[in-house]
Amino acid sequence: MAESQGYRVLWYTEWLSSQEAHIHAIKRIIFDGYTKYQRVTLAETGSFGLTLFLDGYAQSSEYDEFVYHEALVHPAMLTHPKPEKVLIIGGGEGATLREVLKHPTVKRAVMVDIDGELLEIVKKYMVKWHQNCFNDPRAEVVVADGKKYLEETSETFDVIILDLTDPTKGTPGVQLYTKEFYEEIYDKLSKDGVMVTQATSTRYNIDAFSVINNTVASVFPVERPYKAHVATFYSEWGFALGSKSRDPLGIPRNELSERLGRLGLKFLDEEIFYHLFHFPRYLKEKMQQYKQISTVAQPFQIEL
């Protein structure tokens, strides 16, 4: 607690790297506790409104969660000509599922998250995120290890979306960014299948972002890195898209315009869609410095 203009204010420090931190003024704590897998803090912050922190890091805020989730979901969904079956691994807030279900072609959407306790917290306190999408008849929510689910399912999907934690050293997430895992995804995709993964910060982890894209490109014939600025993360946030056939930059303009127009999005429009895939020269040059492909034997890991 600290004094600020005569009021007692709680300050929450979020360490972005060993060299930098952001301090949030907390107006109210809605929930703070531990699940089996992580510390969960849900608080009303001064700058970003209601914000979910996992293990001390902002996961999403009501200020701009839609920017991240629209950027994660829709480029892959639009790249597939007619996505009907979708698998989400991760995505505990329910917002990734919410965005998937905006597509009228979707008949089945399976969301697999390992943390059932987090899901219960989300359902109770984060209605602005999930908007009751868990009750949509097309949706199925499975509490399970996403890697194990993928390995054991006999289903194939048109789109697979990986809304995961970063590949931080010493965490199980490291294995979800390897060539072997992406090969498993490739096998569980339909003929024109598309996958996308969050790929960390292009500011703090340009090495991780580059290696993730290298690794996806080692498996998929079409691979596109892209990014979107997410103010809550103080960074352009990276993504990696892999496609079995269609290039997102090859979608006919009239099709892109028509399909985007049906979605009623807040952030993504036709102009921004193309901007997502455009990188300034300095970032391209930095990305080219990293040649590694992450494998089970030699996985890339973010050092904190």
pLDDT band at 3 (very low <50, low <70, confident <90, very high): very low
163 has catalytic annotation? yes
Q: Is 93 annotated as a binding residue?
A: yes
Q: What's the chain's average pLDDT?
A: 95
When computed from its CA atoms, the radius of gyration of the chain, rounded to whole angstroms, is 19
Domain covering 2-61: architecture: Roll (2.30)
Q: Which residues pair with 159 in a beta bridge?
A: 86, 194
pLDDT of 119-162, one tens digit each? Answer: 999 999 999 999 999 999 999 999 999 999 999 999 999 999 99
Catalytic residue from among 64, 115, 163, 166: 163
- Angular region, 200: left φ>0, alpha ψ -120 to 50, beta rest: left
pLDDT of 235-250, one tens digit each? Answer: 999 999 999 999 999 9
CA distance linking residue 71 with residue 250, whole number of Å: 18
**Residue 74, Cβ neighbours under 10 Å: how many?**
23
Domain ranges for the chain: 2-61, 65-287
Q: Is 32 annotated as a binding residue?
A: no
Domain covering 65-287: architecture: 3-Layer(aba) Sandwich (3.40)
Q: Is 69 annotated as a binding residue?
A: yes
**Residue 2: pLDDT above 50?**
no
Counted residue by residue, the chain has a size of 304
The pLDDT score that the predictor gives to residue 9 is 72
pLDDT of 181-194, one tens digit each? Answer: 999 999 999 999 99
Strand segments (E) across the chain: 2-4, 7-17, 20-34, 39-45, 49-54, 57-61, 85-90, 108-113, 139-143, 157-163, 189-201, 222-230, 235-243
Q: Is 80 annotated as a binding residue?
A: no
| pTM to 2 decimal places | 0.95
Q: Is 255 annotated as a binding residue?
A: no
pLDDT band at 207 (very low <50, low <70, confident <90, very high): very high
In this prediction, residues 64-90 reach a mean pLDDT of 98
For the chain, percent of residues with pLDDT exceeding 90? 91
**Residue 1: pLDDT above 70?**
no
